[in-house]
Structure 1
Amino acid sequence: MAQPKKAASIWDVARLAGVSHQTVSRVVNGSPRVAAATRDKVLEAIAELGYRPNRLARSLAGGAVESVTVLTADTSLYGPEAALRGIEKAARSLEWSVSISVLDPADTHSDADIIARLPRAGEPTIIMAHDEPGMRAKQVLLDTQPQAMVAIGPYTAEELAASPWLVGMDDGKAAAEATRYLLDLGHATVHHLAIPTSTGTFGGGKAHRADGWARVLREAGREVPAPVPSGWTITEAFKAVRPLVADPSVTAILCGNDHLALATLRAAHLAGRSVPGDLSIVGFDNTPFSAFTTPALTTVNQDFESVGRGAFELLRHRVDGAIPRPRPSWPEPELIVRETSGPPSPRS
């Protein structure tokens, strides 16, 4: 009978990374007294070997048993769900525990209620700040424990550069790229099916995807149609987009996410409009189903899992209070061209 594979030890990690076992211990315990390049080598070795520090042994030795709380309003959306997966993987590799507290968008959360959701004062916290509850929680914790929190959300490159506690991707830039692509195909203009902004409205607050879309149309001297507001769900999007899809003058729609694009694809089918012959559709987020729709969805890929890992790395660094390190990096958003986009029909 095959012998079970022996678990990797701290000495195995040290040997692979080319460092001492004391250095591995410092990295595992979050010590700031490790050079960035050395820390990265050790973390790569830990991931490659699947090393799991003994939490009980660390606790009995007087070491801290670290934890992080994630505040989010919705774990069913693809972006938050994928970012949570990245946080959990990064935390698990260093034996941190992860707890999740859901902020109900229908509730009015007081400052005291938000703080009470943390297991203890100063608990390291990552906030999904893509909606109104997340934005409120971000402000409360920024006021009360700024060194123990980071916020994930849609931010411009300028916002990310100016704030050491923000993590995200410039999806306004990505929306601009998608809009420019549709114009280059020959569409006279591009309509937009919009997700709610960070304040839960469509006329104000953060709306980076809509901003990037509108900016490109203005720069190209094209008509900027009024964005069509939708909620987060396919049902809401389907109801909102049907009048737009029924208009034969509409030849291209940029959707706020892939679920909205799926609703648009269905509405086009029911309206008897071919995709992409009569109507081009571009989604956002590159959700797992997007490659398997019929036709396959053109969309913007965003590496939310890497954002989650980067948020956890940045949080640990801020809690350590170490000398500033470069901000974690991840792939830029990328337009994935599939089958739902093409030149407008000559009869359009």
Structure 2
Amino acid sequence: MADVAALAGVSSQTVSRVVNNRSNVEEETRQRVLSAMRMLGYRPNTAARALVTGQFRALGLISFGLASFGNARTVDALTKAAQRAGYTVNMIAIESQTEQAVHEAFDQLTMQAVDGIVLIEAQILDTPALRLPPGVPVVMADGDVSHRHPMVDTDQVQGARLVTRHLLDLGHETVWHVAGPEDSYAAKRRAESWHATLKQAGAAVPGVLFGDWSAASGYEAGRVLARRPGVTAVFAANDQMALGVMRAMTEAGRRIPDDVSIAGFDDIEESAYLSPPLTTVRQDFDVVAERIVALMIDQIEAGAAPADTAYVAPELVVRQSTAPPPSRP
């Protein structure tokens, strides 16, 4: 560190601030120090730094399955946000939401010397008897309805309300819903908000069809809906299922949006390139991740867990898959 300081023409304290990613360093000075580190092949000794600071600058991440678009995008955004903050990420993906699996994942991560742990969509926390191991800061990404831990998520309720209201405002008498899995927090909140929005508008509330987030499950639900001539608007709980519904409707000779309007949720990259382009709800996973990392760092540095629940506002993206019903101009 002394050699780096001498080459960069700064103090050892300045080098330390750069190494620890502190903000109180001018950018020109930071770049000079980083250049000197590269020239000398200097690598910070994380073990020695941890002895001094008590921090490893590493976060643990527990994801309960990566198959869904939302979970995969959350992991990607969290990894990038942590990196920008000077933290590495150690991730464990587990499929079985059991108390034993959660505790084993915590043990593995704490043995890898992480400063805090993020859990994504952990329905297991609904179990009243489950208590996460103490001593490690925790932040939830979509989960923990009991609010025992700080949580950040997209405002699923607002997103479902926006898309349902959009379809009603176009003149549709009601909106059918293809929901996600019954054990998903996001799916539950979207379905509940869809139901409440219809009730508030005085519209009939049709029966819910359930899928598993896949296009195949949306296709099967779409085949059922296509046989019902009164169906003029469908809100699918994610874009993949909306894609399946669109395929089923087209095969049945139902034109989109002339005969039936279809909307999704997530705004995956492919949504703008479907035929027709899909109306959907955009989630800002990058903002969610930034807030999770900021909340985690606050806990790590302050040493106390804030009882915060933060919701990031979604955006309705209107495209050509939605229009007034056939009876309306």
How high is the TM-score relative to the length of structure 2? 0.79
> Matches of residues 182-201 of structure 1 in structure 2 within 5 Å?
182-197=167-182, 199=183
Shift of 1:52: 6.9
Distance 2:141 2:128 in 1: 10
Unaligned runs of 5+ in 2: 6-10
1:128 to 120, 123, 143: 120
Letter paired with 2:313: E
Q: 1:121: Cα distance to partner?
A: 8.4
1:73 aligns to 2:64 (yes or no): yes
CA distance in 2, matches of 1:100, 1:218: 42
What is the SS of the residue equivalent to 2:296? Answer: helix
Q: Is the 8 A contact 2:56 2:113 kept in 1?
A: no
Q: Which residue of 2 aligns with 1:321?
A: 302
What does the per-residue CA deviation read over 1:246-289, in whole Å, with 9 as the maximum and x for residues that have no partner?
Answer: 21100001110001111111111111100000110010010111
In terms of mean alpha carbon deviation, does 291-300 or 55-64 score higher? 55-64
State the match for 2:74 in structure 1: 83
Greater mean alpha carbon deviation, residues 73-82 or residues 243-252 = 73-82
- Report deviation, 1:93: 2.4
Corresponding position of 1:248: 229
Deviations 1:154-191 (A, max 9, x none): 689xx8xx766111121111101111111110000001
Closer, same or farther in 2 for the Cα pair 1:176/1:347, shift >3 Å? closer
Give the match's secondary structure for 2:92: strand
Distance 1:223 1:22, change over 3 A: farther
Verify: 1:285 aligned to 2:266, yes or no.
yes
Q: Deviations over 1:282-325 (max 9, x none)?
A: 10010111001010000000001221222122112112226889
Query: What is the CA distance between 1:27 and its match in structure 2?
Result: 8.2
> Which of these two proteins has the greater Rg computed from alpha carbons?
2
Kindly indicate whether residue 217 of structure 2 is the aligned counterpart of residue 232 of structure 1.
no
Q: CA deviation at 1:102?
A: 1.0
Question: Equivalent residue of 1:115, what SS?
Answer: helix
Query: Is the Cα–Cα contact under 8 Å of residues 52 and 93 in structure 1 kept in the other structure?
Result: no
Structure 2 residue matching 1:57: 3-state secondary structure:
coil
Q: Does structure 1 residue 262 correspond to structure 2 residue 240? A: no
Q: Alignment partner of 1:144: what SS?
A: coil
Residues 165, 328 of structure 1: CA spacing in aligned structure 2 closer, same or farther, 3 A cutoff? Answer: closer
**8 A Cα contact 2:159 2:281, kept in partner:** yes
Asked whether the equivalents of residues 299 and 337 of structure 1 are also in contact (C-alpha less than 8 Å), the reply is yes
RMSD of Structure 2 on Structure 1 (CA):
3.9
Q: Which moved more, 1:187-196 or 1:326-335?
A: 326-335
Residues 42-94 of structure 1: CA distance to partner in whole angstroms, max 9, x if unpaired? 79x69x97x97978324375344321111112223221222112211122224
Q: Where does residue 35 of structure 1 map in the other structure?
A: none
Q: Does 1:92 align with 2:83?
A: yes
Separation in structure 2 between the aligned mates of residue 90 and residue 311 of structure 1, nearest angstrom: 9
Measured in 2, the distance between the counterparts of 1:210 and 1:94 equals 35
Matched, 1:29 2:29: no
Which residue identity lines up with residue 66 of structure 1 in the other structure?
Answer: R
What TM-score do the two structures reach when normalised by structure 1? 0.75
State whether structure 2 residue 57 is matched by structure 1 residue 62.
Answer: no
Q: Are residues 336 and 347 of structure 1, via their aligned partners in 2, closer, same or farther at CA, if it must alter by over 3 Å?
A: closer
The aligned amino acid for 1:283 is G
Change (3 A) 1:62 1:266: same
Distance 1:273 1:258, change over 3 A: same
Q: 1:138 to 1:258 in 2, by over 3 A?
A: farther
